[in-house]
Chain A
Amino acid sequence: MQYIGPDFYNISDLLKEEELLIQKTAHEFVQNEFMPVVNEHYEKGTFPTEIATQLGELGFMGSSLPEESGGAGVSNVAYGLILHELERGDSGLRSFVSVQGALVMYPIHSYGSDEQKQKWLPGLGSGELIGCFGLTEANFGSNPGGMVTKAVRDGDDWIINGSKMWITNGSIADVAVVWAKDEEQIVRGFLIEKGIDGFSSSDIHGKLSLRASVTSELSLVNVRVPDSARLPKVEGLKGLLSCLTQARYGIAWGMLGAAVDCYETALNYAKERKQFSKPIAGYQLTQAKLAEMITRITEAQLLVYRLGRLKDEGKMTFQQVSMAKRNNCVLARDIAKISRGILGANGITEDYPIMRHMANIESVYTYEGTHEMHTLILGQEVTGIAAYDS
C-alpha cells in the first residue's frame, strides 16, 4: 500500500501498514461521501452535520485518544493522515473534527472528572454529540490571557458572564468548553450545556473563508452552573494551551492535505492543457513552479511525519508544533496561489477546488495562533527572549 499523495521521498516506506490503510479509508470516505456535497455547502455557508455520526462510526473523532475516552487509540501519525485527508476535502470538515477531538474530547479526557468523561466522551466519540471550544473574545484573540469572561463563585455554583467570538461549531454544539477567569484572575474551563438559562449563540455571517463550517458567537449572561461543570484538573493558561497544541498538530497535517490537493490539481491540469505547441507542463516556467511545489510539499511531509513520531514517543514540544503549523500554513497558502495561476481562468471556478482551499487557508493561517504568534514562539525558543508581553 502507498501513501496517497506525491511521494518523492518514499514516505510510504516510513508509514506502518495500518497507517496506510487508515489514510486510504479516510481518503475514500471523503471522496465518496463528502466531495459530492462540498460545493453546495460551501455556497450556502452550511456544514453537513449529518456526516458527524458517520465520522464517529469510523472512529475519526478524537481518534488518537484511547477507546475508553471515545477514541480509537491510533498513532498520532495515523491521526495526522486522517486530518490530511479531511482537509484535502475541505478545511471545514477538518476543522469540525479538530475541534471535536483536540479541543473538546482532549480536555475532557485530560482534565475532566470521571463523571464528565462518562457523560460526554461516548457521545462525542460517536458523533451523536457535537462540541465547541470558546476561548477567543472580540477584543482578545492573540492575547487570550486578557480575556474578560468572568466566573464568580456563588455557593456550590459558578455564575459566568461574557461572550466568545469566532467559535467553530458554536451554534450546533451540545456542549461548549468555555474558558473564563475567576475572581483571582485564574483561567478555568467549564462544560456548558446547550440550552441552559442565559447561554445563547448566534452565527457569524458574511464569511468568505471556511464557509462549509459553522462559526458563531457565544453569549453568557448570568449562566449558573454547578462546580461539577468545571474541568477540575486544569488551571491557568497552560492547560488551555495544551489543547491548542493538540489542535495545531492536526492543523499542520491538514494544511499539507490542502496543499497536496492544489498541487495535484495543478499538475494534472498542466499535463493536459495545451497552449502553443505543447502541454503547459512542458514549459520551463511551469516546471519551475511544479519543482518548487513538490520540493516544499516533500519538506512539509517530512516535518509532520517526524513531528508525529515525536508525539508518539511523548517527546514533542509545543515549539515544534508551532514550527509545523506555521510552516504548513504558509506552504499551503503559497501552493494554492501558484496552483491557481497554473489553471488560468478555470482556476477561479468551483469546478476546481483551489479557490475554495485558498479562501479556507486564510482562516487556518489566522486561527490556532496566527502566523506572527508562531513566529514569536519560535523567536523566543531560539533567543530565550520573549518579544511579546506575557
Chain B
Amino acid sequence: MKIAVLIKQVPGSDSALPLTGDGTWIDDSLITFVMNESDNYALEEALRIREKINDGEVVVVSMGPDRVQRVIREGLAKGADRGIHLEEDGQIETDPLCIAKSFTSVLEDENFDLVLTGLQSDDTGMGQTGILLGELLGMSTATLGIETDIQSDTIRVKRELESGWFQWIKLPLPASVSIQSGINQPRYPSLKGIMGAKKKEIKIVAQSEHRPDTKWQSLNRLFIPQTNKQTETLNGDADTIVNRLVEILRSDLRII
C-alpha cells in the first residue's frame, strides 16, 4: 500500500498577518509557520493505516519555498518514509486547480493507492486540492472523512454531513480522501524519529518541472475586514421590541 499525504505549511494561528505592500499576499517574513492542522490528522491516519496492515509506504508531499522542508521533516520524524518537495521560488500559487495539476505531474508516475489530504488549508481554506488531484489522477474521491477502514482494494470512509448526519461510503482504490481535524490523536515525534528523519530522503522537484503554464484563478486583493460597532436602541411596546429582537437574531446575526 503506497500512501501519499499532502501537507501544507501555513501561518500559525497566533501569528499576526501583515499584508504585503501591494495587498496581494501576506508578508511572510514576519510569520511563524506550522503544519496545517487537518494535514496533521491525515498524516496520523496514514501512519495508522500502514501500521494496521503492517506494510506499505507513507510519503509526505509539500509544495512551497524552502521552508516547507521543515514540515516534511516533521512528517518524516513522525514516521513517514520519504518526502517530496515541490519547489516554489516565486509567488505562492493559490489557484487550487493549478496546485492540483502540479501535484498530479509529480505524483502520477508513483501510482499511489491512497492520497490523504487535510480537509482544507488554514490559510486559503479552499478545500479543493484533494478532490481535484484525485480526479486528475483518475481516483475515487471523498471529502470530510472522520473515520477510515482500509480493505485490500477498497477503503470505507465515514463522512460528516450537515446537521449531525454521517455517511459510510465505500471507495475502490486508488482513492483520494480529505480528512477532518480531530479524527485521531496525532502522535508526537519521538527523539529517535527526529534523529532518524535526518537520514530520510526528500526528493526536490523544481518549479519549472511542475508548475502549469495556465492559471485559472488568482487572488486580486487581500484586506483586513473593518470592524465597526453599531448600537441600535429598540423602542416601542414589548411586542414590537421582541419582534425586532427576533428579527435581528434571525436575519442579521443568524444565531437562531
Query: Which chain A residues have a beta carbon within 8 Å of chain B's beta carbons?
Result: 1-2, 17-18, 21-22, 25, 28-29, 57-60, 63, 67, 72-74, 78
Query: Which chain B residues have a beta carbon within 8 Å of chain A's beta carbons?
Result: 32, 70, 73-74, 77, 188-192, 194-195, 197-198
- Residue numbers in A under 8 Å from B198 (CB-CB): 18
Q: Quick one: closest B residue to A59, CB to CB?
A: B191
- Residue numbers in A under 8 Å from B188 (CB-CB): 25, 28-29, 58
A72 close to B191 (CB less than 8 A): yes
Question: Which one of A21, A29, A57, A67 contacts B194 once the chains associate, using CB atoms below 8 Å?
Answer: A21
A72 close to B195 (CB less than 8 A): yes
- Residue numbers in B under 8 Å from A17 (CB-CB): 70, 73
- Residue numbers in B under 8 Å from A73 (CB-CB): 195
A22 close to B194 (CB less than 8 A): yes
**Alpha-carbon distance between A94 and B77 when the two chains are bound, in angstroms:** 24
- Residue numbers in B under 8 Å from A60 (CB-CB): 191
Instruction: Using A1-B70, A2-B32 as known contacts, say yes or no to A18 and B194 having CB atoms under 8 A apart.
Output: yes
Q: Quick one: closest B residue to A61, CB to CB?
A: B191
**Alpha-carbon distance between A74 and B192 when the two chains are bound, in angstroms:** 9
B194 close to A25 (CB less than 8 A): yes
- Residue numbers in B under 8 Å from A21 (CB-CB): 70, 73-74, 77, 189, 194
A-B interface pairs (CB < 8 A), number: 43
B191 close to A58 (CB less than 8 A): yes
Q: Quick one: closest B residue to A75, CB to CB?
A: B195
Interface of A is mostly: helix
- Residue numbers in A under 8 Å from B189 (CB-CB): 21, 25
Shortest Cβ-Cβ A-B pairs, 10 listed: A59-B191, A72-B191, A59-B190, A58-B190, A25-B188, A18-B194, A59-B192, A29-B188, A72-B192, A21-B194
16 A-B pairs, CB-CB below 8 angstroms?
Answer: A1-B32, A1-B70, A18-B73, A21-B73, A22-B191, A22-B194, A25-B188, A25-B189, A25-B191, A25-B194, A57-B190, A59-B190, A59-B192, A63-B191, A67-B192, A72-B190
Q: Quick one: closest B residue to A29, CB to CB?
A: B188
**Alpha-carbon distance between A105 and B30 when the two chains are bound, in angstroms:** 42
- Residue numbers in B under 8 Å from A72 (CB-CB): 190-192, 195
B190 close to A74 (CB less than 8 A): no
**Alpha-carbon distance between A307 and B201 when the two chains are bound, in angstroms:** 33
From residue A303, how far is it (CB to closest CB) to chain B in Å? 24
**Alpha-carbon distance between A59 and B194 when the two chains are bound, in angstroms:** 10
**Alpha-carbon distance between A78 and B77 when the two chains are bound, in angstroms:** 15
A74 close to B195 (CB less than 8 A): yes
Q: A21-B73, A63-B191 are in contact. List 10 more A-B contacts (CB 8 A).
A: A1-B32, A2-B32, A17-B70, A18-B198, A21-B70, A21-B77, A22-B191, A58-B191, A59-B191, A72-B191
From residue B94, how far is it (CB to closest CB) to chain A in Å? 24
Instruction: Using A58-B188, A58-B190, A59-B190 as known contacts, say yes or no to A18 and B32 having CB atoms under 8 A apart.
Output: no
From residue A77, how far is it (CB to closest CB) to chain B in Å? 13
Q: Quick one: closest A residue to B32, CB to CB?
A: A2
From residue A88, how far is it (CB to closest CB) to chain B in Å? 16
**Alpha-carbon distance between A96 and B195 when the two chains are bound, in angstroms:** 24
**Alpha-carbon distance between A210 and B22 when the two chains are bound, in angstroms:** 54
**Alpha-carbon distance between A120 and B45 when the two chains are bound, in angstroms:** 35
**Alpha-carbon distance between A73 and B73 when the two chains are bound, in angstroms:** 18
**Alpha-carbon distance between A205 and B215 when the two chains are bound, in angstroms:** 71
- Residue numbers in B under 8 Å from A22 (CB-CB): 191, 194
- Residue numbers in B under 8 Å from A58 (CB-CB): 188, 190-191
From residue B75, how far is it (CB to closest CB) to chain A in Å? 11
- Residue numbers in B under 8 Å from A78 (CB-CB): 191
From residue A58, how far is it (CB to closest CB) to chain B in Å? 5
From residue A376, how far is it (CB to closest CB) to chain B in Å? 36
**Alpha-carbon distance between A29 and B175 when the two chains are bound, in angstroms:** 33
Q: Quick one: closest B residue to A32, CB to CB?
A: B188
From residue B11, how far is it (CB to closest CB) to chain A in Å? 13
**Alpha-carbon distance between A18 and B77 when the two chains are bound, in angstroms:** 9
- Residue numbers in A under 8 Å from B74 (CB-CB): 21
**Alpha-carbon distance between A329 and B198 when the two chains are bound, in angstroms:** 35
From residue B158, how far is it (CB to closest CB) to chain A in Å? 25
**Alpha-carbon distance between A1 and B73 when the two chains are bound, in angstroms:** 11
Q: Quick one: closest A residue to B189, CB to CB?
A: A25
Residue from the set B73, B195, B197 with the largest chain A CB neighbour count within 10 Å: B195
From residue B39, how far is it (CB to closest CB) to chain A in Å? 16
**Alpha-carbon distance between A156 and B84 when the two chains are bound, in angstroms:** 61
From residue B64, how far is it (CB to closest CB) to chain A in Å? 14
- Residue numbers in A under 8 Å from B191 (CB-CB): 22, 25, 58-60, 63, 72, 74, 78
**Alpha-carbon distance between A210 and B191 when the two chains are bound, in angstroms:** 27
**Alpha-carbon distance between A1 and B72 when the two chains are bound, in angstroms:** 13
**Alpha-carbon distance between A17 and B76 when the two chains are bound, in angstroms:** 13
**Alpha-carbon distance between A18 and B76 when the two chains are bound, in angstroms:** 12
**Alpha-carbon distance between A238 and B190 when the two chains are bound, in angstroms:** 34
